[in-house]
């Protein structure tokens, strides 16, 4: 497979992963698919999980991966970037994508470890209060569904956060791998070219 075709193979999944990251981050602002918690949070009453506000999926796994994906895709077509210079630039863009993916991965991992913001109570804290009851659990709550019942509101917020932060984590890992591969592919493309010239010659024959 020539470097141009490989770039296209990398870019298309990056589009999908960036979109998934953005969507997950946006949905996380609306636990229980209700806007009232986000509205209360804007009024100065903390209701949204802090890691959601770091915008790991929107900025890191989304924008910082989408821009490199566009350039990487251009290196696979017969346009201005389908040359050695374009491939060289794709190394830098891919490096930015790696940074974005690492940021998204870090925020998602932190969100999973600390758990959600919720109205909670347990035998040691009988009066329901808003906070992050699993912040000091080192992630042990993930495997203990009895602890999930501590959160009274939003409904099913633990499962909600776990599902979306896990999706962000997986998406970020895949983005990290793909952008890293493109850095190597870009180096080979810078040295050997994108094969686009060979493809045009074959088409004219």
Mind listing the pLDDT tens digit for each residue in 53-77?
999 999 999 999 999 998 888 877 7
Note the pLDDT of residue 17. 97
Who contacts 134 (Cβ-Cβ below 8 Å, separation ≥6)? 114, 115, 116, 141, 147
Which residue stretches of the chain have pLDDT < 70?
1, 3-4, 78-84, 192-205
Note the pLDDT of residue 202. 39
For 46-156, where are the alpha helices, taking DSSP H only? 64-74, 84-114
pTM: 0.87
Note the pLDDT of residue 199. 44
- Report the alpha-carbon distance of residue 61 to residue 175 in Å, rounded: 8
For 175-191, how does the pLDDT look when each residue is reduced to its tens digit (9 = 90+)? 999 999 988 887 777 77
- Report the alpha-carbon distance of residue 58 to residue 60 in Å, rounded: 6
Note the pLDDT of residue 66. 95
Q: How many Cα atoms sit within 13 Å of 117 on the Cβ side?
A: 18
């Amino acid at each position: 497979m020539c470097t141009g075709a490989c770039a296209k193979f990398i870019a298309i999944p990056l589009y999908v992963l960036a979109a998934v990251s953005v969507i997950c981050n946006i949905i996380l602002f609306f636990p229980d698919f209700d806007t009232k918690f986000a509205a209360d949070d804007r009024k100065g009453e903390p209701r949204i999980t802090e890691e959601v506000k770091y915008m790991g999926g929107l900025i890191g796994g989304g924008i910082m991966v989408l821009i490199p994906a566009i350039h990487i895709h251009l290196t696979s077509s017969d346009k201005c970037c389908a040359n050695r210079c374009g491939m060289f630039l794709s190394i830098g863009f891919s490096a930015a994508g790696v940074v974005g993916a690492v940021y998204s991965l870090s925020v998602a991992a932190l969100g999973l470890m600390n758990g959600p913001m919720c109205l909670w109570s347990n035998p040691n804290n009988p009066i329901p209060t808003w906070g992050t009851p699993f912040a000091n659990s080192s992630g042990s709550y993930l495997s203990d569904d009895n602890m999930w019942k501590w959160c009274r509101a939003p409904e099913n917020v633990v499962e909600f956060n776990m599902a979306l932060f896990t999706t962000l984590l997986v998406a970020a890992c895949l983005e990290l791998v793909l952008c890293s591969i493109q850095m190597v592919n870009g180096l080979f493309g810078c040295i050997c070219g994108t094969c686009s010239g060979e493809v045009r010659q074959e088409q004219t024959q």
